[in-house]
C-alpha cells in the first residue's frame, strides 16, 4: 500500500502525527494547519500516527504499511475493531444498550422471531445506509421480507454482517423534515480520549436544533464515562440518546478517527484532543499483553443461573459436554470472584459476593475433578501430576476438545 493513495497531507503537531485526507464532508473535515503549528512529515517519525482519512477500508493494511516505514498508529487495529463494529463493542456495553444479536446474513423470519418481536431495528454490523428508515425500522413480516431482498442489492449493507436490535422508542425532536430517514431523536455524540471527555454535541446537525441542558449533563456523563472505561480504547465516539421513558441509553460506538464531529464544536474537540494526545497515559492492551491474550469484557454466562449450571453438570453426555461446562464454570468463577474486591470486608455486600464466588467455586471444582480423571485415563495428564488443577496441566485435554488458554480464561481455540 502506498500511503500517498489514501492521504493528502502528513504532518506532526507536537508529539502526535496526523495522516490526513479531505473527504468533502463538512462535519468531518478539519483544517489542522490553520489552527495548529504543523510540521510536514518527509520521513519516518517517532510520534504515533492519528488517522483522519475518513472511513478506513483496510485498517490492517494501513497499520502494516506504517510499521514497515518504522512508524506506529496511535490507535492499534485491535482498538479500532473494538469500537467500530457492534459485534465487538456490544458485549462490553450490553447492560446499557438495546438487546442485539449478530447474524452472518438476514435470517429467515422464523429464526428472527425466536429472539425478537416486531418492530425491530436492523443495521449493518458496522453502519447503516444513511439512516434510511425503510432499512432500519422494520414493523412487520412484509417489511422484513422486503428488506431481505433489498439488503442483497445494497452496496453499503450487503457486505456486512447483520445486527438486529430490540426497538426502543426514543424521544423525537423532528419526525417530519426528513421523512425517509429514521426520526431525528434526542441523541448526542461524546468524544473521549483515554477515558476523558474531549467534547460533545447533538448527533443530528440537520433539522430542528436542540442541545443538552446542564441539568442532564452529569447524568449523561456518568453513562458515557462508564462506557469509555468499559470499552478500554483510546479514542472512541460514543452516541447516547434519551428514550420515551426518560432513560439514557447507548446507541452506537465508533472509532473517533472516522467519526464526524456533527453538532460538537470542532475547534473545542481538536484543541482538547490534541492537547491530551501530547501526554498519553494509557498503554494499549496490544502493547501490554502477550499475543493470544483474551480480555474478558463481559460475563461469560450472563443468562445462566448457578442452578441451571448444576442441572447441566448432572446431566452431561460425554467428554465434550464436560469440557464445555467446565470452561463456562471456570470463566464464570473468575469473573464473579473479582466482585469481592469491590466491597469493604465485613459489609453485607462483601459477604454476598463471597457467597456467590464460593458457590461457583464448588461447581467448578466438581467439574474439574471429573475432567482430571478423564485426562489421566486418556493419557493427557500424568498420574502423578503435582499440580493437576493448573492451566498448564489441563491444557492438553482442553486443547483436544477445542479450547486454549487465553492467559487465564478458557476460550475456543479459533478465538484469536
Query: pLDDT digit string (tens) for 372-393?
Result: 999 999 999 999 888 888 888 9
Convert the pLDDT of each residue in 147-186 to its tens digit: 999 988 888 788 889 999 999 999 999 998 898 999 999 9
Residue 339 binned pLDDT confidence (cut-offs 50, 70, 90): confident
Percent of the chain topping pLDDT 90: 68
Q: What is the pLDDT of residue 11?
A: 97
- Whether the CB-CB separation of 274 and 203 falls below 8 Å is answered with no
| R_g over Cα of the chain | 24
Q: What is the pLDDT of residue 335?
A: 85
Cell of 406: 487465553
> Does position 76 have pLDDT exceeding 70, yes or no?
yes
Higher pLDDT, 169 or 408: 169
Residue 289 binned pLDDT confidence (cut-offs 50, 70, 90): very low
Residue 416 binned pLDDT confidence (cut-offs 50, 70, 90): very low
Convert the pLDDT of each residue in 246-270 to its tens digit: 999 999 999 999 999 999 999 999 9
Q: How far apart are CA 60 and CA 350, in angstroms?
A: 44
Cell of 65: 504499511
SS (H, E, C) the chain: CCHHHCCCEEEEECCEEEEECCCCCCCCCCCCCCCCCCEECCCCCCCCEEEECCCCCCHHHHHHHHHHCCCCECCCHHHHHHCCCHHHHHHHHHHHCCCEEEECCCCCHHHHHHHCCCCEEEEECCCCCCCEHHHHEECCHHHHHHHHHHHHHCCCCCCCCEEEEECCCECEEECCCCCCECCEECEEEEEEECCEEEEEEECCCCCCCCCCCHHHHHHHHHHHHHHHHHHCCCCEEEEEEEECCCCEEEEEEEEHHHCCCCCCCHHHHHHHHHHHHCCCCCCCHHHHCCCCCCCCCCCCCCCCCHHHHHHHHCCCCCHHHHHHHHHHHHHHHHHHHHHHHHCCCCCHHHHHHHHHHHHHHHHHHHHHHHHHHHHHHCCCCCCCCCCCCCHHHHHHHHHHCCEEECCCCEEECCCC
Q: What is the pLDDT of residue 399?
A: 93
Q: What is the pLDDT of residue 165?
A: 97
Higher pLDDT, 350 or 189: 189
Average pLDDT of the residues in 295-303: 63
> Does position 293 have pLDDT exceeding 70, yes or no?
no
Q: What is the pLDDT of residue 409?
A: 83
> Does position 297 have pLDDT exceeding 80, yes or no?
no
Q: How far apart are CA 192 and CA 143, in angstroms?
A: 37
Q: Cα torsion for 326, 327, 332, 333, to the nearest 10°? A: 60
Q: What is the pLDDT of residue 283?
A: 53
> Does position 415 have pLDDT exceeding 60, yes or no?
no
Cis geometry, peptide bond prior to residue 301 (ω within 30 degrees of 0) = no
Q: Which residue has the cell 467519526?
A: 259
Mean pLDDT over each residue of the chain, to the nearest integer: 90
Q: Given the DSSP bridges, would you call strands 39-40 and 248-255 parallel, antiparallel or unpaired?
A: unpaired
Q: What is the pLDDT of residue 288?
A: 45
**Least confident segment among 83-87, 145-149, 288-292, 303-307:** 288-292
Percent of the chain topping pLDDT 70: 94
Q: What is the pLDDT of residue 41?
A: 93
Residues 6+ apart with CB under 8 A from 146: 134
- Report the residue count for the chain: 416
Cell of 67: 510499521
Q: How far apart are CA 272 and CA 125, in angstroms?
A: 30
Angle between helices 348-377 and 306-313 (to 10 degrees): 20
Q: How far apart are CA 360 and CA 343, in angstroms?
A: 19
Query: How many CA atoms, within 13 angstroms, populate the side-chain half-sphere of residue 271?
Result: 8
> Does position 412 have pLDDT exceeding 90, yes or no?
no
Q: How far apart are CA 292 and CA 414, in angstroms?
A: 11
Give Cα 316 distance to the centre of its chain: 33
Amino acid at each position: 500500500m502506498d500511503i500517498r493513495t489514501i492521504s493528502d497531507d502528513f504532518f506532526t503537531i507536537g508529539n502526535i502525527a496526523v495522516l490526513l485526507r479531505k473527504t468533502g464532508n463538512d462535519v468531518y473535515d478539519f483544517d489542522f494547519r490553520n489552527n495548529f503549528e504543523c510540521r510536514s512529515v518527509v520521513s519516518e517519525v517517532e510520534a504515533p500516527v492519528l488517522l483522519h482519512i475518513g472511513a478506513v477500508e483496510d485498517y490492517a493494511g494501513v497499520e502494516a504499511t506504517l510499521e514497515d516505514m518504522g512508524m506506529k498508529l496511535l490507535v492499534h487495529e485491535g482498538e479500532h475493531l473494538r469500537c467500530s463494529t457492534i459485534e465487538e463493542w456490544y458485549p462490553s456495553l450490553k447492560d446499557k444498550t438495546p438487546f442485539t444479536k449478530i447474524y452472518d446474513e438476514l435470517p429467515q423470519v422464523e429464526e428472527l422471531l425466536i429472539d425478537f418481536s416486531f418492530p425491530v431495528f436492523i443495521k449493518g454490523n458496522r453502519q447503516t445506509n444513511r439512516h434510511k428508515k425503510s432499512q432500519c425500522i422494520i414493523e412487520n413480516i412484509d417489511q422484513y421480507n422486503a428488506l431481505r431482498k433489498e439488503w442483497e442489492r445494497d452496496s453499503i449493507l450487503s457486505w456486512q454482517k447483520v445486527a438486529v436490535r430490540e426497538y426502543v422508542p426514543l424521544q423525537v425532536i423532528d419526525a417530519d423534515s426528513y421523512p425517509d430517514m429514521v426520526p431525528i431523536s434526542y441523541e448526542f455524540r461524546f468524544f473521549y480520549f483515554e477515558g476523558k471527555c474531549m467534547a460533545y454535541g447533538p448527533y443530528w446537525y440537520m433539522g430542528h436544533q436542540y442541545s443538552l441542558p446542564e441539568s442532564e449533563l452529569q447524568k449523561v456523563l456518568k453513562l458515557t464515562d462508564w462506557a469509555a472505561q468499559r470499552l478500554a480504547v483510546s479514542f472512541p465516539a460514543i452516541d447516547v440518546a434519551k428514550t420515551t421513558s426518560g432513560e439514557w441509553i447507548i446507541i452506537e460506538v465508533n472509532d473517533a478517527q472516522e467519526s464526524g464531529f456533527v453538532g460538537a464544536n470542532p475547534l473545542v474537540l481538536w484543541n482538547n484532543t490534541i492537547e491530551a494526545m501530547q501526554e498519553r497515559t494509557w498503554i494499549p492492551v496490544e502493547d501490554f499483553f502477550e499475543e493470544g491474550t483474551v480480555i474478558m469484557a463481559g460475563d461469560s454466562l450472563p443468562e445462566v443461573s448457578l442452578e441451571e449450571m448444576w442441572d447441566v453438570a448432572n446431566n452431561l453426555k460425554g467428554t465434550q459436554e464436560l469440557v464445555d461446562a467446565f470452561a463456562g464454570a471456570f470463566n464464570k468463577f473468575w469473573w464473579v470472584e473479582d466482585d469481592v474486591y469491590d466491597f469493604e470486608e465485613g459489609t453485607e455486600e462483601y459477604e454476598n459476593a463471597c457467597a456467590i464466588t464460593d458457590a461457583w467455586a464448588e461447581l467448578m471444582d466438581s467439574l474439574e475433578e471429573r475432567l482430571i480423571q478423564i485426562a489421566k485415563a486418556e493419557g493427557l495428564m500424568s498420574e502423578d501430576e503435582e499440580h493437576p488443577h493448573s492451566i498448564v496441566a489441563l491444557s492438553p485435554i482442553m486443547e483436544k476438545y477445542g479450547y486454549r488458554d487465553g492467559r487465564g480464561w478458557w476460550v475456543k481455540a479459533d478465538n484469536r
